[in-house]
A = this chain, B = another copy of it.
């Protein structure tokens, strides 16, 4: 398979005529062939109308066929092999093993959603049987299931060009729910997007689905994204990226004549609380591991650890000195794109100029123009309590140590913290009493709490939550990863007094889909 520089609109491959766009190698800033043709409102309109035309049939195919379709995407993605790895490495500067790993995880995620579709818990199938003898009024026959919302627009992330992009969690969960997808190619990995898009397009055709089930739009700047959110056939949006970009789309979705939900996963600094006994016991090990994790992928992960909170006392000096020493040996590395690098430099500069913040360690001098050099800052808890935004994420290899004078100060910062995707607590049994006070504060601010580990491995499973209060996401009631990510694209419908032959399969008496259902207050497979 070859990169042609084209959009995918239903079964067609279309060259956009609005502008030319080029993929860039972030290490050299050199363009990578071919030139891409950017689309505009006309292509958006075609893709969204096709998605709407596909919706009814796609939403009603059997769970088995929908699962097979997701499995086919996984297979086609894996089938891209070295073509995809090579292209993605060129466009992002990520190491080949990282890209291969992402492909494997993405395929695994698609296969998980295939199983989720068939298991069908997402339908929340519920039956309240009629009771003609109830007093004072008879009870009607009422049944409920969840159905898909309609066409979903997906804006992938730059930092996980496979796992959070065209065939990533948003697309996989939307397709699993029964929603067609119109994806926008991220400008920092255009060729990768096209290749992955073709893998999906082929799966649509091979499974005999309506061509509108998937389209991929290429376009330049904000107008193309706005056209996608504004299109009347768009019924929901999923976005991964910056707080400014995400909230602009969320608000735009709500300003439409017909408002739609836009889920945005945005920013998180992923604090690590090191409780006193843990600090005394293993400041060194923690510091070494922390630096390793904060510079992994040049700090460009949603779950990169960015904050350490510790109370002055045994281990604090060791923590600081090991952090400094370990960071000094850390080489700089290529960042994903020019704008990301520029934002990183600005973020570091902002911290450096903030009252009460000191830079106390830095990584090795940068080797390339787009390389990210690592930084560690330190700040007193008091300063943080005056301005909690000192703890905002700096996307890249930067972290900040919050120096607390007492346990109460640490608890105060925990209570003032903004929303996070993940929060980590390092503790020993002697810290449990403190943990009982800290954990409720942490729970109120985070989507996932991790004990004695790092949070940047995300298990893709039923119990996963990759979400959290603002600004981690735009709506804390949902997750972007894990099997319940599908809930973002579903709505409940009740069916009252239906003749049996008109009932949807999920709600028929004989349970032909073999679903787990809530029937007359009893959960089970009846």
Contact = CB atoms under 8 A, between A and B. Distances in A.
A498 B451 contact: yes
Interface string A222-242: 000000000000000000000
A505 to B, nearest CB: 13
Interface string A427-450: 001001001100110011011111
A462 interface: yes
Contact of A462 (B128, B448, B465, B469): B128
| Most B C-beta atoms less than 10 A away, residue of A254, A429, A443, A499 | A254
Interface residues on A, range: 35 or more
B475 A261 contact: yes
Contact of A150 (B444, B448, B455, B462): B444
B446 A467 contact: no
A434 B461 CA distance: 42
Count identical subunits in the complex: 2
A463 to B, nearest CB: 4
Contacts of A484: 124, 492
Contact of A497 (B128, B250, B450, B497): B450
Contact of A502 (B451, B490, B492): B451
A499 B433 CA distance: 13
Contacts of A247: 259
Interface stretch (A140-148, A162-170, A379-387): A140-148
A491 interface: yes
The A contact surface, by secondary structure, is mixed
A30 interface: no
Contacts of A429: 499
Given A449-B495, A470-B258, A497-B453, A477 B463 contact: no
13 contacts: A119-B521, A121-B518, A137-B457, A142-B459, A259-B474, A432-B499, A432-B501, A436-B502, A448-B495, A449-B496, A451-B499, A477-B492, A482-B494
Q: Which 9 A-B pairs have the closest CB atoms?
A: A465-B494, A144-B463, A448-B494, A476-B491, A126-B463, A450-B496, A128-B463, A142-B463, A128-B461
Given A140-B453, A447-B492, A465-B494, 18 more contacts: A60-B440, A119-B521, A121-B518, A142-B459, A144-B464, A439-B502, A447-B493, A448-B493, A448-B495, A451-B498, A453-B496, A455-B496, A462-B521, A463-B494, A479-B492, A482-B494, A484-B492, A516-B523
